[in-house]
Amino acid sequence: MTALTLSTAAAPGLRADAIVIGVAKGAKGPVVAPGAEALDKAYDGRLAAVLETLGASGGEGEVTKLPAPAGFKTPLVVAVGLGAEPDSGAEFGAEALRRAAGVAARALAGSKKAAFALPLADAADAGAVAEGALLGAYSFDAYKEGAKNGKGGKAPLAEVALLGGKPRDKAYKAAVERATAVVEELNRARDLVNTPPNDLNPESFAAVAQAAAKEHGIKVQVLDEKALTKGGYGGILGVGAGSAAGPRLVKLSYTSSKAKKHLAFVGKGITYDSGGISLKPAGHNETMKCDMSGAAAVFAAVVAAARLGLEVNVTGWLALAENMPSGSATRPGDVLRMYSGKTVEVLNTDAEGRLVLADALWAASQEKPDAIVDVATLTGAMVLALGNRTFGVMANDDAFRAAIVDASAEVGEASWPMPLPEHLRKGMDSPTADIANMGERMGGGLVAGLFLREFVGEGITWAHLDIAGPAFNEQGPFGYTPKGGTGSAVRTLVRLAELTAEGDLG
């Protein structure tokens, strides 16, 4: 991953391939942001005018390149748009800094070192810029032969120096260390999401989790087919029945001797979703390697919590299966007996995520955590409702739902509170089993949430994050978000763990 340092060096004397500055959109044209004073001075105070001449407006995501002035050891200036200029006395928001840093890092792919002179009012800003730069520099090249011999496109920006970063200040140092730990794990989640399904199946995913757990002192337990059968995990087994690659349930336990609370995170991990017997049509299955994004997010969040040494116990449950059609696959009309003992009539084998989550939710409930949060690329209905960049949040507690939405906003992940209308529950009544895995088509995302609620232990606070929209970006990169796997929900889960450790959540 891109190396990152805090630097007190003066901008003119720093050796780098480029210096990154911020430019905001002012009422009368572009405005040079704090951090670029030395550069503006070298342009005789006319840097904003020069940028405007070059077509810069300061709009978010805009990149303008120009030669560095005489006296600077960096040959290139990269001016990146921060969006609207803050009101008088106000600072730039953390998300504006993250996005600008991400855009700049991506624009500088192929460079060895860049100095970032973006506005840093405090340590939190340093953390935001660090996070954005490291996220934006991400690249997934594991399967590109050219990347191995240096002939296949540009390598990610190798090093970032944050100017004005106060390397001896404990708060600044802690902010950058946190950003590095979180982004390294988030990028690991991105790698998993981007890995093709012929190389990532439940068994190999479990192996990755086992290796990371060993490295970071996390207790890990893996239930294979034999253990799942013995335990009665009918949902996970039913979904994985059609695949030659057997299912797994992975439990990751990070514990702190100072913890007063226990959080459980549950992730949907369908390493490839063909739809099963209810087969997806062409045009809807090409990106279904991403259907394990929820499990990747949970895995990354638990490891990040361990690396940060958070004073909260965090358990991650990865419900892993491959949903394939075959002579042994679950059929529409089959009835599965779940780990909870409830029976489910399977009306659609492509509504499989809720089946593996149901078993994992019930398993998590047996430990009586203070709260459970599940994360899943669960429904196309949520994408229709909220688009490709926003995840839906449902919960059995309105205050907890609001806290999650607030936490996601704080870290720069777009989310929206969604209801669990009781009248939709009746649509899942089954004449054969306790419940069906399908209900009314309209409000399908909410129906899925109601189904999951049936498998949460009594009295346990629970929330469901449907990340079907933002988990995988099929369009072009934007801000610090790449094309492909995004690592959606990782930062929200980590922030929830931090808030719980600090006593500010529940």
Buried b (16+ CB within 10 A) or exposed e, 27-53: eeebbbbbbbebbbebbeeebbebbbe
Rounded to whole angstroms, the Cα distance separating 3 from 390 reads 30
**CA-CA distances (angstroms) from residue 53 to 21, 29, 69, 329?**
17, 10, 16, 64
Which tokens sit at 162?
A: 């944050």
Q: Write the Ramachandran bin of 73: left for phi over 0, alpha for psi from -120 to 50, otherwise beta.
A: alpha
Pairing of strands 63-67, 29-32: unpaired
Rounded to whole angstroms, the Cα distance separating 411 from 480 reads 13
Angle between helices 170-194 and 123-136 (to 10 degrees): 20
Rounded to whole angstroms, the Cα distance separating 125 from 108 reads 21
> Which amino acids are annotated catalytic?
280, 354
Pairing of strands 113-117, 159-163: parallel
Q: Is 353 helix (H, G, I), strand (E, B) or coil?
A: helix
Residue whose structure tokens are 């930062």: 491
Run of H or E including 264: strand 262-273
Q: CA 327, 328, 330, 333: dihedral to nearest 10 degrees?
A: 60
**292: closest CA among 233, 348, 360?**
360
* DSSP classification of residue 432: S
**480: closest CA among 393, 374, 407, 389?**
389
Q: Is 197 helix (H, G, I), strand (E, B) or coil?
A: coil
Q: Is 448 helix (H, G, I), strand (E, B) or coil?
A: helix
42 contacts 96 by C-beta, under 8 angstroms: no
418 contacts 395 by C-beta, under 8 angstroms: no
